[in-house]
A and B are shown apart, each in its own frame.
Chain A
Amino acid sequence: MKRVEHIDILTANERKLQKISKDNLLALGLKEMKVIQRYYKKKKRNPTDVELETLAQTWSEHCKHKTFTGKVEYRSFDCSPASLYKGKREGKITINNLFKQTIVKVTSELKKKWCLSVFKDNAGIIRFDKDFAIAFKVETHNHPSALEPYGGAGTGIGGVIRDILGAGLGAKPIMNTDVFCFGPTDYPFGKLPQGVLHPKRIFKGVVSGVRDYGNRMGIPTTNGSVFFDEGYVYNPLVYCGTVGILPKDKCFKKVKPGDVIIAVGGRTGRDGIHGATFSSLSLNEDTEVSAVQIGNPIIEKKVTDTILQARDRNLYRSITDCGAGGFSSAVGELGEDCGAEVNLECIPLKYAGLEYWEIWVSEAQERMVLSVPPEKVKEIMKIFAEEDVEAVIIGKFTDDKQLHLLYEGETVCELDMQFLHKGGPKITLKAEWKKPVKSSGQIKIKKENREGLTDTLKKLLAMPNIASKEWIIRQYDHEVQAKTILKPLGGAENDGPMDACVMKPLYDSFKGVAVANGINPVYGKIDPYWMAASNIDEALRNVVCVGGDIEQTALLDNFCWGDPRKPDQMAGLLRAAQACYDMAKIYQTPFISGKDSLNNEYVDAQGKKTSIPSTLLISAISIVPDIRKVVSMDIKKAGNLVYILGETFPELGGSHYYLLNGFLGNNLPRVNPQQAGKTMLAVSKAINKKLVQSCHDCSEGGIAVACAEMAFSGGLGMNINLTEVPFTEKKKDDSTILFSESNSRFIVEVSPAQQKEFEKTMKDVVIAPIGKVTEEKQFKVYGIKNDLIIFADIADLKKSWQKPLI
C-alpha cells in the first residue's frame, strides 16, 4: 500500500507557499495559503495531498465565487451609477459581497411567492402550477471548449443537465438552450497565435458536441443564440442551459447523518482532473487538455431514467451531481452540515492506476451522488441494477462535522467541514471606472441614397449576428418529448426567427413556459451597466412577445469576464451587477440562479494578455398561462395594421449599423424600466385578450431588421412610414430611426377589427401605427420626407438573411 503523501507547508515561507500552489495547480492565492498554513499549525501537522486538493477545489473561484462574495472598493470618475452613489458626489464605495448586495438582494426584496428555491440549489426553482415546479439553470463551459470544442461543449450540456437532475430531489429535463460566442469565422489564419484553434473549427466542434449530447439525451434544444466578435477568438464562450419539471413536493432535500452515500453512473477516470481550478486560471499555449472531461450521453440518459424512478418512490433524501471538483465538491456540499466518511477504494474506476487524490477530484462525467436511508438501499440498488446502471456505496454521512477520507483502510484526509466551507479568507478587490475614451469625434456615415438604405438593410440582415441560424437549429432535435409549442423557427415556410420558445411541460395541461435570452457584448465595450440593462430588457421582451406573463417571469445571470483583479474589469463587473439589481427591482423579475466564469483571458507566448469582451447572458423564463394564446413573430394577413410600441431614441452606439460601418460609438441604448415595464405589461394583456396577430421585438438592426424579419417570415409584404415613429429628438434622420437599437420596443400586428380595443389596452404606452401588411410581397419603407427609402422583394431580403453561416 502506498503511504499517505504529506506536503510540507508548516515551515514554508511566502515564496514557498506560492510555489506549492502553482506547482500543484491549486490556483490558491497567498492569503489563502497562509490561512491554510495557520489551520495546520494548530493541528500540528502538515496537510495531506488530498486535503490540499480538496481545499483548492472547494475554494476555487469556480466553486466559491470569491470575487462575487468578496469585498470591492469601487471608484467612479462620474459617481455613477447613481443608484450606488446615492447622491454622493465623490469618493469610493465599499461593497461587501457584491452578489448578496445586488442579485440576491433584489430577489429577497421582491418576495415573490412563486420563487420556491433560489440560489441555494443546483438550479433555481419556481412554481409552475399547484402540483409542479420548474427548475432552470444555465452554465458555462468555456475553457474546455477552447481546448477541445467537441468534448468541451458536449460535457457542458451534460453538466447542466445533471444540475437539473440534481435540483431539489431531481427534475426531469424538458428543454435545452445554448448560447455561443465565437470569433469571426473568416478570421485570418495568419493572425492566430500558436495553439489557438480557428473560430470555424471551434464553431463546428461546439455545435456538433452540443448536438450529439443533447440529441442523445432526448432533450429538445429549442432556443439559443450565437454572437460573433473578434474578442472571442482566444476564448470562445459556451453557455448551456436546461429547464426541468419536478413535483412541487420534491423541491427540497436534506441529508441525515447515518445515510449511506451512493455514487451512481459513470466511472471515475483521469479525465477532468483540476477542471475547477483550471477554469480559474488563464489559458495559455501549454494548458493541459487532460483537464477536459470525456462525455457519454447514454450513461447520463440511463442515470436520468433510473433516478427519476427512485425519486418517485422516495428512496433517497438528497442528491447532487459531480460537477466541478468531482466527489470533493459533491460529497463536501452534501455533508457540509453534518460530516461525511468516504472509502475512496470503493469508487469504480475506468482503469487502474489512479492516485487516491485523483479519484477524489476527478471530474469524470455522468456521476450523481445520493444520500440514501440505510433501509432503502436494497430497493434503490435494484432499480439501478435492472437498467444496467452502476451504483456503489462509497461511504456514509456522519454527525461529527468532519470530512473523513480513507483509502484502503488508511485515513488520508481529516478536515473540519466548517473550515472547508467557511474558512476561506475574503478577498478584497479594487475597482475603478474611468472616463471612457470617446470614439473618434462625430461619426460620419456617407449619406446613403435610396438604393443605399435597401442595400444597408440587406447587409445588416447578412451580418452573422443577425443572419439565420438555421444551419445550427436543424441539427438539434427541437421536438423530442412532443412538448415544443413554439419552435425556434416558424412562419409561412418554417424558417423565421421566433423570439422565444414555448414549451408545454404536461400533456394534460395548457399551461406553458417561455424561455429566451438577452446578450449583447458590444454594448459592454461602452458601458457594462447599460449592457446589463439592455440584456435584461431584451430577454424580457422576447418572452413577453410570445405570450409569457411578465408578472411570473424569473431571470438567470451568467457573467463571463476577464481578470477581476484588474480594476477596470472589476468596475465593469460591479456596474453590470448593479444594473441587474436596478432593473430587476423595477421590472419585478427576480433572479433565481446564476453563474460566473471569470479569468477568461489568454496569455500568449510573449506574456501578453487578451481578455474577452465583458459578457453577460441574461436568460428569462416565463409562465405562459395558456399556450393556446401564444403569438409568433411572422405577419399573418394582408390589410392588418402594424404598430410600434415604445419610443425610439438616437441610440446608435454599439449598434450593428455602426459596426457595419466600422464604428463603435458612445451613445448606447439605455433603459427606462418604469416605462418599459408598462409597455411589457400592456403587451402581455393584449396577447391575453387575443388582440395581437404577431409581435416581434426590436433588437440588433433596429426597426428595419425587425419589420423585415416579420415580413419575410410571414411571406407577405409590408409598408412602413417613418414619419409616424415616435422619436425623441426634433432633429431626425432616416437611418437613425431605422437602425437605432433603443430598448423596450415592439412591432405588433393588429387586425383592423380590433384596432380600437388594442389601442385602449395600450393607453399607458407610447404607440403609433406605422404601416400595413400588404398582399404584394414587397417591403417598402417611406422616410421622414415621405420618400421611398427602402424597396425590396421579401424573397431578396430573406436570401440575404439566409446567407450561409459557415
Chain B
Amino acid sequence: MKKVKAVVLRTAGTNCDEETVYALKVAGAQTKSMHINQILKKENPFLNYQILVIPGGFSYGDDISAGKILANELKYKLYASLKDFVEKGNLVLGICNGFQVLVKSGLLPGITVMEEEQLVTLSGNDSGKFEARWVYLKTGKFKCQNLWTKGMKEIIYLPIAHAEGKFICKNKLLLDKLKKNGQIIFQYVDKEGSLSGYPDNPNGSVFNIAAICNKKGNVMGMMPHPERYINKHHHPRWTRKKLPEEGDGIFLFKNAVDFAEKNLV
C-alpha cells in the first residue's frame, strides 16, 4: 500500500513543529516539515501530499494579531494550490496558532471552500492572559460521521496553551449553521461532560467551541494540542492513575492517516 504523506508547515515563530511531526509519524504518515519560503518557491507545493498541518507557535510573533501574517501568506500567495488541495478532499489540520491561521485565511469555517471574508475569530482569552492547562473536550454529536473523531471516546482530555483562543462567530445565524452542519468538533466541558464556565472553558469561547471543521469536514482547526498527549506519560496525573498507553491525542492523527490511506492515496 502506498504510504500517506504529510507536510508540517513552519515559519518564523512556529514552535510545535517537532512534536507534530513526531505525532504524525507515530500515526503512520511519512512526514516532512517544510518552511514557508521553501513552499512558496514550488510550483505545486502540496502535490503528492494528503495531509497538511499548520502547527502551534507564534507565527511572526503574532504581531498584528495571532496568526494573521501567515494567514495572509496562505490567502494571497498560496490561494490556488491550497484551494485545489482542499477541493480534492485532502486534509488540513490547524492546531492552536494553526487554527488561528485557518480562520484568518478563510479556510475555516469553510461554508464555501475559501471564505472571502473572515467569519469567525479567536480573540483574547476572557482571563486576559496566556493560560496553559488541561481541558476536557466533548466530541461533537456528529462524531461518527466525522473523519477526525471517528471511534473516539465521548470525552477526551488535552492541554491548551494560548492567549487568544476565545472562539467567536460573526453572528448567531452562522453559529446555528455550524451547529446544523455538524461543524463543531470539540466543546470545552467539565469532567462529567456538561458545558461549563471558566476554567473548564479556559478562554470564554462562545458555545464552548474548541474546534471546528469546514462543511465538507476535511479542514479542521482546534485550540487544544493533540500532539501533546501521545502517550500516557504526557498526562498530568499519570503518576497516580492507571491509564492506557496511548494518549487521547494520537487518535486524531491516526484517524486522519487512516482516512487518507483509504480515500486519498
Binding site for B on A (CB under 8 A): 211, 215-218, 296-298, 301-302, 386-388, 473-487, 489-492, 494, 504, 507, 627-628, 630-632, 634, 636, 714
By the criterion CB–CB under 8 Å, are A298 and B37 in contact?
no
How many angstroms between the C-alpha atoms of A13 and B14 in the bound complex?
Answer: 58
Distance in angstroms from A467 CB to nearest chain B CB is 19
How many angstroms between the C-alpha atoms of A477 and B163 in the bound complex?
Answer: 10
The chain A residue with its CB closest to the CB of B236 is: A494
The SS class assigned to the B binding surface is mixed
By the criterion CB–CB under 8 Å, are A474 and B18 in contact?
no
By the criterion CB–CB under 8 Å, are B60 and A482 in contact?
no
By the criterion CB–CB under 8 Å, are A474 and B131 in contact?
yes
Closest 4 CB pairs of A and B: A218-B15, A482-B19, A632-B239, A298-B61
By the criterion CB–CB under 8 Å, are B60 and A490 in contact?
no
- Chain B residues positioned under 8 Å from A491 (CB to CB): 237, 240
Chain B stretch 31-68: residues in CB contact (< 8 A) with chain A? 35, 37-38, 56-58, 60-61
Among the stretches B99-107, B137-145, B222-230, B257-265, the one at the interface with A is B222-230
B213-242 interface mask toward A, CB cutoff 8 Å, 1 = contact, 0 = none? Answer: 000000000000101101001101101100
Q: List 13 A-B contacts (CB under 8 A).
A: A298-B12, A301-B13, A387-B12, A387-B37, A388-B12, A474-B132, A475-B129, A477-B130, A480-B15, A481-B15, A487-B236, A491-B237, A491-B240
How many angstroms between the C-alpha atoms of A636 and B233 in the bound complex?
Answer: 17
Using A218-B57, A476-B132, A477-B161 as known contacts, say yes or no to A492 and B240 having CB atoms under 8 A apart. Answer: yes
By the criterion CB–CB under 8 Å, are B15 and A217 in contact?
yes
- Chain A residues positioned under 8 Å from B129 (CB to CB): 475
Distance in angstroms from A303 CB to nearest chain B CB is 10
By the criterion CB–CB under 8 Å, are B61 and A216 in contact?
yes
Most buried by A among B225, B234, B239: B239
Using A474-B131, A475-B130, A634-B240 as known contacts, say yes or no to A627 and B233 having CB atoms under 8 A apart. Answer: yes
B182 at the interface (CB under 8 A from A): no
Most buried by B among A479, A491, A504: A479
Binding site for A on B (CB under 8 A): 12-16, 18-19, 22, 35, 37-38, 56-58, 60-61, 129-134, 159, 161, 225, 227-228, 230, 233-234, 236-237, 239-240
How many angstroms between the C-alpha atoms of A634 and B240 in the bound complex?
Answer: 8
- Chain A residues positioned under 8 Å from B133 (CB to CB): 474, 494
The chain A residue with its CB closest to the CB of B227 is: A482
Distance in angstroms from B119 CB to nearest chain A CB is 28
By the criterion CB–CB under 8 Å, are A479 and B37 in contact?
no
By the criterion CB–CB under 8 Å, are A490 and B228 in contact?
no
Kindly count the residue-residue contacts between A and B in the assembled complex, taking CB atoms under 8 Å apart: 102
- Chain A residues positioned under 8 Å from B134 (CB to CB): 494
How many angstroms between the C-alpha atoms of A481 and B57 in the bound complex?
Answer: 11
How many angstroms between the C-alpha atoms of A634 and B236 in the bound complex?
Answer: 12
Distance in angstroms from A173 CB to nearest chain B CB is 11
- Chain B residues positioned under 8 Å from A489 (CB to CB): 236
By the criterion CB–CB under 8 Å, are B240 and A301 in contact?
no
By the criterion CB–CB under 8 Å, are B37 and A475 in contact?
no
- Chain A residues positioned under 8 Å from B237 (CB to CB): 490-492, 494
Distance in angstroms from A608 CB to nearest chain B CB is 38
- Chain B residues positioned under 8 Å from A218 (CB to CB): 14-16, 57-58
The chain A residue with its CB closest to the CB of B249 is: A482
Most buried by A among B15, B22, B35: B15
By the criterion CB–CB under 8 Å, are A475 and B131 in contact?
yes
How many angstroms between the C-alpha atoms of A490 and B239 in the bound complex?
Answer: 9
By the criterion CB–CB under 8 Å, are A490 and B236 in contact?
yes
Distance in angstroms from B40 CB to nearest chain A CB is 11
Of the candidates A388, A481, A492, A627, which one forms a contact with B18 in the assembled complex, judged by CB atoms under 8 Å apart? A481
Distance in angstroms from A41 CB to nearest chain B CB is 52
By the criterion CB–CB under 8 Å, are A477 and B233 in contact?
no
The chain A residue with its CB closest to the CB of B229 is: A482
How many angstroms between the C-alpha atoms of A207 and B13 in the bound complex?
Answer: 21
By the criterion CB–CB under 8 Å, are A386 and B38 in contact?
yes
By the criterion CB–CB under 8 Å, are A504 and B19 in contact?
no
How many angstroms between the C-alpha atoms of A350 and B125 in the bound complex?
Answer: 34
How many angstroms between the C-alpha atoms of A538 and B248 in the bound complex?
Answer: 36
- Chain B residues positioned under 8 Å from A485 (CB to CB): 233-234
Using A479-B228, A494-B133 as known contacts, say yes or no to A504 and B22 having CB atoms under 8 A apart. Answer: no
- Chain B residues positioned under 8 Å from A297 (CB to CB): 58, 61
Distance in angstroms from B103 CB to nearest chain A CB is 21
How many angstroms between the C-alpha atoms of A492 and B60 in the bound complex?
Answer: 37
How many angstroms between the C-alpha atoms of A215 and B96 in the bound complex?
Answer: 13
The chain A residue with its CB closest to the CB of B202 is: A474
- Chain A residues positioned under 8 Å from B58 (CB to CB): 215-216, 218, 297-298
The chain A residue with its CB closest to the CB of B56 is: A480
- Chain A residues positioned under 8 Å from B230 (CB to CB): 482
The chain A residue with its CB closest to the CB of B57 is: A218
How many angstroms between the C-alpha atoms of A475 and B14 in the bound complex?
Answer: 19
- Chain A residues positioned under 8 Å from B57 (CB to CB): 218
**A476-B132, A482-B227, A492-B237 known, 13 other contacts, Cβ within 8 Å:** A298-B13, A301-B15, A386-B37, A387-B12, A474-B131, A475-B129, A475-B132, A479-B228, A481-B19, A485-B234, A494-B237, A627-B233, A631-B239
